[in-house]
Amino acid sequence: MLTIASAIAAFGLLLPTIVQAQGSLVGTWTSKSRKVLTGPGFYNPVEDRLIEPDLTGISYSFTADGYYEEAYYRAVSNPANPSCVQGVMQWQHGTYTLPSNGSIVLQPIAVDGRSLTSTPCRYDNSVYERYYQPELIKEYTLETDKFHNVPRLNLFQFDGSPQQPLYLAYTPPQMLPTQTLNPTAIPSATGKAKRDAQVLLQSSEPLNKNAIIHPKESFNADKIWWLGIGLAAAGGAMIMYPSSK
């Protein structure tokens, strides 16, 4: 019969393997195209722009102290009209945890996520907006890819469906600063996070020199709200002071 002492001893032998498996997440992982990578080559936080890679793909980066970053560039098919393919770019960063059930829980910084959607058959301009989506990776496995002979990360989404495999591209990971890059509660977004991002961008050559940078299409809800107040006040003044005949 397995005694408590032998069970503790067995767990002690297993513990380094568990720690090593979790720690091996550290680095920048990318899909087969190797054209989508986290960092300043995908998102420019100073100019607040997403940079379109040559090919679609996904990338995740993980640090040893619990931070992550992700970059997605996907083509969404249209069965009704195959020539009208929708392009979607998404970027987020934040913190991650590794629960004991073998999953990965990703908690992004709400104000920093960005999404760019291009639907050329419906709209002339792309839609650029904030993006916030916490994620649950139900399961992940790490192995050495038999064909490429490099570390491979397999991620399974919240419903158990597999994502395309990711391959280790950089270690330590290639990432933007891990703190909030575009705070909204401060009138001037030129704090330390912005300065750190600027330094990183100046010291790193873009991964894709021929990238297409879409112009930011801004939508300022505050301006629209004040415009409505102004129009309402103007309407009230016209009622109180009718024009003379």
Q: What is the pLDDT of residues 117-169, one digit of tens each?
A: 987 777 677 899 999 999 999 999 999 999 889 999 999 999 999 999 999 99
Instruction: Look at residue 77 in the predicted model and tell me its pLDDT.
Output: 74
Enter the tokens of residue 124: 């002339």
Q: What is the DSSP letter of 165?
A: P
Task: Tell me if 107 sits within 8 A of 134, measured CB to CB.
Answer: yes
Q: What is the pLDDT of residues 224-239, one digit of tens each?
A: 344 444 444 444 444 4
Whether 5 has a pLDDT exceeding 90, the answer reads no
Residue positions counted in the chain: 245
Instruction: Look at residue 218 in the predicted model and tell me its pLDDT.
Output: 39
Nearest to 114 by CA among 164, 53, 44: 44
Instruction: Look at residue 145 in the predicted model and tell me its pLDDT.
Output: 93
Q: What is the pLDDT of residues 42-86, one digit of tens each?
A: 999 999 999 999 999 999 999 999 999 999 999 887 777 777 778
Instruction: Look at residue 48 in the predicted model and tell me its pLDDT.
Output: 95
CA distance 102 to 184: 35
CA distance 215 to 238: 40
Instruction: Look at residue 215 in the predicted model and tell me its pLDDT.
Output: 38
Phi/psi zone of residue 102: left (φ > 0), alpha (ψ -120 to 50 degrees), beta? left
Q: What is the pLDDT of residues 179-201, one digit of tens each?
A: 999 987 644 444 444 444 444 44
Instruction: Look at residue 50 in the predicted model and tell me its pLDDT.
Output: 96
Classify residue 217 by burial, with Cβ atoms within 10 Å: 0-12, 13-18, 19+.
exposed
Instruction: Look at residue 82 in the predicted model and tell me its pLDDT.
Output: 72
Q: What is the pLDDT of residues 6-51, one digit of tens each?
A: 443 443 443 333 333 444 899 999 999 999 999 999 999 999 999 9
Task: Tell me if 137 sits within 8 A of 127, measured CB to CB.
Answer: no
Reduce the DSSP state of residue 226 to 3 states and report it: helix
Whether 241 has a pLDDT exceeding 80, the answer reads no
Task: Tell me if 40 sits within 8 A of 206, measured CB to CB.
Answer: yes
Instruction: Look at residue 232 in the predicted model and tell me its pLDDT.
Output: 46
